[in-house]
Amino acid sequence: MDELVEAFAERRPSGLEQAYALWSPLFLSVARHIISDRANAEDCVHDALLRVWRAPNRFSGSREMLKGYLVACVRNEALTTLRRESRHDARALKAARLDPVPAVDAPSVDPVETQRLQGALARLPEDQRIALMLAYYGNKTQVEIAKEVDAPLGTIKSRISMAMRKLHAELASPGGNRW
């Protein structure tokens, strides 16, 4: 098993520290895309990582899977925080949801991966790509997407699901493993 994954699964401090050293800009970028306040976004990263690390887990996958899992946890934590706060301030939620897809000139978290990703996204059917972009970069719920593109909820679900599977097939292909 990968040494980092093993350290993480055994809840050794070095597991969390190594994961942080490798991916902390990614984690914070994910949180800040949802929560613009820096301190709150850092709280999210801290809380999410610590919760995962403390909970008994049964990782046995690759390093790439651990990374995906942690990124998903950070995103979830940030979305939960956003939704909790939005009960107090509906305008904040609206502003965050209307946040556009990342500006083209801002440096991305991982330029090499971004390039691969953009190629793969471009090869998706347009309706699938739009649904996925609204979900991920637009931080919209499936119901909101259905309303926005005027399609049934079930259709939106399958478009996003198909898009994710196709991206997986492309991005996980040889040359895709960057570790």
Partner 1 sequence: MTEHHLSEDAELYPLGILDDDAARNVELHIALCSDCAQRVAQAQAVAASLAAALPRAMPSPALERRLRESVRPRQAAKLRASLLPFALAAAFALAFLGLGWQALVLRERLQSDDVALVTMVHSHFNHVSMAPQSANPVAAKILYARDGSWIYIIADKPGGALHAIARTASATTDLGALTSSGETATLLAHPRERIVTITLQRAGTNVASAKLTY
In the complex, the residues that contact partner 1 under the rule CB under 8 A are 13, 16-17, 20, 24-33, 38, 41-42, 45-46, 49-50, 53, 61, 64-65, 67-69, 71-72, 75-76, 79, 102-103, 106-110, 113-114, 116-118, 132, 135-137, 140-142, 145, 157-158, 160-161, 164-165, 167-168, 171-172
Closest CB to partner 1 among 92 and 113? 113
Closest CB to partner 1 among 46 and 92? 46
- In 3D space, the residue among 161, 109, 111, 114 whose CA is nearest the CA of residue 135 turns out to be 161
Closest CB to partner 1 among 92 and 157? 157
Q: Are 8 and 53 in contact (CB under 8 A)?
A: yes
Closest CB to partner 1 among 3 and 60? 60
Q: Crossing angle for the helix pair 126-136 and 142-149, nearest 10 degrees?
A: 140
Q: How far apart are CB 158 and partner 1 at their closest, in Å?
A: 6
Residues near 108 by Cβ (< 8 Å), separated by ≥ 6? 102, 114
Q: How far apart are CB 89 and partner 1 at their closest, in Å?
A: 20
Q: How far apart are CB 21 and partner 1 at their closest, in Å?
A: 8
94: exposed, middle or buried (Cβ count in 10 Å: 0-12, 13-18, 19+): exposed
99-135 in b/e burial notation, b at 16+ Cβ within 10 A?
eeeeeeeeeeeeeeeeebeeebbeebeeebbbbbbbb
Closest CB to partner 1 among 88 and 179? 179
Closest CB to partner 1 among 3 and 54? 54
Distance separating alpha carbons of residues 148 and 29, to the nearest angstrom: 26
Q: How far apart are CB 125 and partner 1 at their closest, in Å?
A: 16
Distance separating alpha carbons of residues 82 and 36, to the nearest angstrom: 10
Q: How far apart are CB 140 and partner 1 at their closest, in Å?
A: 7
Q: How far apart are CB 108 and partner 1 at their closest, in Å?
A: 5
